[in-house]
Structure 1
Amino acid sequence: MKKVGFIGLGTMGLPMTNHLLDAGFETYVVSRSRGPVDKAVSYGALEANSPKELMETVDIVMTCLPVPQSILDVYEGPNGLIAGASDGKIVIDHSTVNRETNMHVSKLLADKGALFLDAPVSGGPMGANAGTLTIMCGGEQAAFEQAKQVMEAFGEYIVHVGSTGSGTVVKLLNNMLIGVHQSALAECYIMAEKAGVDPAVAYDLIKRSAGFSKSMDWSVDAILDRQFDPRFSINLLHKDIRLALELAEQIDMPLDMIKLGERKVAEAKEEFGNQDVCAIVRPLEEKTGIMLKRRQ
């Protein structure tokens, strides 16, 4: 079994690391926060002193970080991953960033003889805890074939999409749709309530009809039970939609519906940015004077 490393022990990365340990991989970790490292070590992980040391120690490194700048902070510099890279090493980035960042770090790693996969994940903390993530991978086929066994520790559906950056493109497509779906669902649930229909009943029927989207499963219980703790925050969703819109500009693709969704997400971000994406409903609740909650 290969030695592996993981950097970014957040709500996604820590359970992904635990699955690597459960699968029998000798797993090394690095994180800026002491608490998650201690949790990973208590579960059986080994701590490296820096990204460079971690890279020098293992065969495959995985990162799961919030924004493009976080990637550059971890990958570059005298103690970064690239400084420790060498021939045959594989780096897998599970972050949601942009193609430019993917291409940039891929080239720097290639100059050291290392391989890179952009491999964003979908499924949220629930999927990370269950080990059932969907993983969309861009990069060389050879790197994918070598790394797939490792990703199977926490992924249920793992697909090689194409060249470097293509996994990121699919993830941005997914997340820009989340913004539109959650914005439309906010109007749907409040319209049901305003028209005298229990939103839970409307959800149950729409789930069996053509208007259903998986975003309904994500949001309805959380909204009706007023549970807005972030599984995936509005702040992060807005970051991803902005990245999708930047990509659209680069390839001259009009995205009228996505731009409308981005405005709704941005509106919710002003007051509720640290809450879960289902809190996109809250500005409309305030505007209409209707607070959704589960009926007894």
Structure 2
Amino acid sequence: MATEWKVGFIGLGIMGRSMSRHIINAGYQVTVWNRTASKMEEAAGWGARKARSPKEVAENSNLIITIVGDTPDVREVVEGENGVLAGAKPGSVLIDMSTISPDATRQIAARAAEQGVAMLDAPVSGGDIGARNGTLSIMVGGEASVLESVKPVLETMGKSIVHCGPNGAGQTVKACNQILCGLNLLGMVEALAFAKKAGVDLEKMIEVTTRGAGGSWALANLGPRVVKGDLDPGFSVRFQQKDLRIVLQEAERLELPLLGTAAVQQLLRSVQAHGGNEDGTHALIRLMEQLGNVSITPSE
């Protein structure tokens, strides 16, 4: 297994932008590609090389990282005519850090293995804040020995790196994470509405409850943004809905009822219906304001 990694990075969105920069700043040679080509210019300013396709990224790398929107996007950049597998050399490692279907992950990993390419599924949690700070939680599926060899690269982006099992296990644990994120999000907006309607100072409520048993990442990080009226996306409603769709599809396959998760998915659909698709997930507060006839975010 290679120890001198030449890194390819595909996907320079809200998360990938910061993640790729950490790898560059750590001194690795990095080649980037993004569907919207203009986003590569910033990475080039940090020292990255620009590629014309995922295939070219793979031709110039022995460790290729992808973080794109959805399962079809991963299939396209990995398995497409000009995808990673069209240019990857045997002995290379592919790390998909997107959040996609566990079943699709296993299929892609099998296809990569046919070409002598090892694959890890390594979805992340921590949002834009974790990506910027290099403190993401990374849940990994695949061979433990492969993970060990690439861990120095992953450590530039995350502080918690856990091997969860074979290919698909990382995505399954990420699905669990998204169940918790959705339900914690709902708990946060209901608590904010309850406090506001009862006349309690919201900042003081957040200060106290984040230190107690009801505390959560959503409450500590998104609660203050709600109070300020900042609904910009660290993680958008659109992507959360994609993740919850994956969760509910897997739950259907497992014949497992997930009542709370389904409720959050439907509530976020209402946010989408009112134009909040690209807002942060904490825009769920707007629906809570409508349902409870209470004003929580500052008026514009």
TM-score by length of 1: 0.96
| Structure 2 residue 150 is matched with structure 1 residue 147 | yes
Aligned with 1:171 (options 167, 170, 174): 174
Residue equivalent to 1:277 = 281
Unaligned 5+ runs, structure 2: none
* Kept in 1: contact 2:95–2:122 (CA 8 A): yes
SS at match of 1:238: helix
SS at match of 1:252: coil
* Kept in 1: contact 2:62–2:88 (CA 8 A): no
Between 87-96 and 201-210, the greater mean CA deviation after superposition: 201-210
Between 176-185 and 87-96, the greater mean CA deviation after superposition: 176-185
Q: CA deviation at 1:111?
A: 0.7
Q: CA deviation at 1:172?
A: 1.0
Q: CA deviation at 1:254?
A: 1.9
**1:83-112: CA deviations, max 9, x gaps?**
112311100001011112211211111110
Residue equivalent to 1:13 = 16
* Kept in 2: contact 1:183–1:264 (CA 8 A): no
Q: CA deviation at 1:245?
A: 1.0
Residue equivalent to 2:50 = 47
| Structure 2 residue 253 is matched with structure 1 residue 250 | yes
SS at match of 1:12: helix
| Structure 2 residue 54 is matched with structure 1 residue 27 | no
SS at match of 1:6: strand
Unaligned 5+ runs, structure 1: none
Identical amino acids, percent of aligned pairs: 34
* RMSD value, Cα: 1.3
TM-score by length of 2: 0.94
* Kept in 2: contact 1:132–1:156 (CA 8 A): yes
Q: CA deviation at 1:79?
A: 1.0
* Kept in 1: contact 2:7–2:63 (CA 8 A): yes
SS at match of 2:14: coil
Residue equivalent to 1:102 = 105
**1:264-295: CA deviations, max 9, x gaps?**
2222222212100111110121233322147x
Q: Residues of 2 paired with 1:94 and 1:41: CA distance?
A: 21
Residue equivalent to 1:3 = 6
Number of residues paired by the alignment?
294
Alignment of 1:113-132 (within 5 A): 113-132=116-135
Q: Residues of 1 paired with 2:165 and 2:291: CA distance?
A: 44
Q: Residues of 1 paired with 2:235 and 2:185: CA distance?
A: 12
Q: CA deviation at 1:123?
A: 1.1
**1:40-77: CA deviations, max 9, x gaps?**
01110001221112112111000000111111111122
Alignment of 1:55-66 (within 5 A): 55-66=58-69
Residue equivalent to 2:290 = 286
Q: Residues of 2 paired with 1:282 and 1:36: CA distance?
A: 31
Residue equivalent to 1:260 = 263
| Structure 2 residue 76 is matched with structure 1 residue 73 | yes
Aligned with 2:187 (options 184, 188, 206): 184
Q: Residues of 2 paired with 1:36 and 1:98: CA distance?
A: 26
Q: CA deviation at 1:226?
A: 0.5
Q: Residues of 1 paired with 2:143 and 2:47: CA distance?
A: 31
